[in-house]
Amino acid sequence: MHFSHTTPAVPAALTIAEAAARLDAFTVVDVRTPGEYASGHLPGAHNVPLDRLDEASAALRAAAGRRPLLLVCASGARSAQGCARLADLGAPAATLEGGTGAWAAAGHPLERRAGARTPWPMDRQVRLAAGSLVVAGFLAGLALPAAHWLSGLIGAGLVFSGATGTCGMAALLARLPHNRPGRDALPFEETLARLTT
């Protein structure tokens, strides 16, 4: 277990084994898109997408006042970003190393609504979109050499994403309809209310 330098009472990261041993001691917050969340999440997790953390800061601070927060995403990258953002907002949180992918691979259950759609994880969506744009730029560049710049720009964006831990393409893809809440999803306001009680 790795501890944060600013708030020693809240671990910076939990392994799968540590989280499984005391999951009920945490308020679990899944920061993936609503579509990803619907495809399967840790038992009892609340869905607060990464791009809505600021909007949910008061509810998350209230929840953190009762029990420590554990942020979860597909791999741990977005939840680590969320932890950094919440620390700035006064709500310290831990991240789950390896995310829901590692949780499920270790044989732990995921909750999902019956009949829920299952979009691809965001990292896979980003790889498909980026790869498609690189191939399109390469092929278009055979007829129009200036089109090769598209491939170069996508490559530069991926380097920037890797260096900074942010991803503009993921932020754009998260707005697509298949990544938005389904009709039967819990309204965001209800999630916030549950976090404050």
Query: Could you give the residue numbers annotated as active site?
Result: 73
- Residue 121 CA to residue 116 CA, distance in Å, equals 14
Question: Can you name the residues that pair with 72 across neighbouring β-strands?
Answer: 30
189, 46 contact by CB (below 8 A): no
- Residue 4 CA to residue 68 CA, distance in Å, equals 13
CA end-to-end span of the chain, whole Å? 29
How are beta strands 27-30 and 11-14 bridged, if at all?
Answer: unpaired
- Residue 15 CA to residue 18 CA, distance in Å, equals 5
φ, ψ for residue 96 (rounded to 5)? -90, 115
